[in-house]
Amino acid sequence: MLFSKEELSRINEQLCSQSPKEIVEWAVAQNRKTVVTTNFGPHEAAILHLVSEAQVDMPVICIDHGYNTVETYQVAEELPRRLGLNMQMYTPRISRRYREVNLGGVPSIEELDRHAQFTEEVKLEPFRRAFSEFRPEIWLTSIRKDQTAHRASLDIVTYDSNMQCIKVAPFFNSTELDMEEYLVNNDLPIVEDYYDPTKVLGHRECGLHRS
């Protein structure tokens, strides 16, 4: 592990009063193999903007599960060009069309086993594949503590045992209003029409951040 538990505690004490920009700069200053992940969700432009200013060639990993809205795909095309991002797109091994024809499409969240398998196939497997190729030591993510009960139990900097790297959440202590103000102030898009079939409900976890 890059940092011991004691070091992580000290780092979080140090960073808790820092701005998201300063937290990203701290992560880049570690001089470790670093990636940022995005789903081009409602407020994702914020962390991508920070990364573009701190390290423009940082790999930006996006898992396209195939069920994004038109607005999400439009932002996913326009924003990387605007910010000069080093995009790395990953897709499931099974296409959306094949799933619709042969596998019954997207299962409901009440179909626990089928939905868990669906989540594994369209998000978790491609995510692990991406991380196995890039093998990052630091992973930047835009999760916030006000999003779910599980995320509230994390911190700005944590060790992710699933991905075996240090996870850094620059906006961990930010609110939704904070995010919107950042986007408006920097003339960045807010994705109003967003849908994730692996979560469906805003308070659900898909499994990526359960370390």
Choices 3.40.50.2300, 3.30.565.10, 1.10.540.10, 3.40.50.620: CATH for 5-185: 3.40.50.620
pLDDT tens sequence across 45-64: 999 999 999 999 999 999 99
* Nearest-5° Cα angle at 140, 172 to 78: 105
For the record, the structure tokens of 167 come out as: 């996870």
Angle, in degrees to the nearest 10, between helices 20-29 and 5-15? 140
pLDDT exceeds cutoff 70 at 210: no
* pLDDT for the residue numbered 209: 58
**Arithmetic mean of pLDDT, 190-207:** 78
Work out the pLDDT band at 207, boundaries 50, 70, 90. Answer: low
Per domain, the residue ranges of the chain are 5-185
The tokens describing 127, both together, are 């995510």
**The pLDDT value given to residue 47:** 98
The pLDDT tens digits for 70-94 are: 999 999 999 999 999 999 999 999 9
Residues 6+ away with beta carbon under 8 Å from 28: 34, 54, 55, 58
- How far, in Å, CA of 29 to CA of 6, rounded? 20
Prediction pTM value:
0.92
Tell the burial category of 205 from Cβ atoms under 10 Å away from its Cβ (0-12, 13-18, 19+).
middle
How far is residue 110 from each of residues 26, 197, 202, measured CA to CA in Å? Answer: 42, 13, 16
157 half-sphere exposure, CB direction, 13 A CA radius: 26
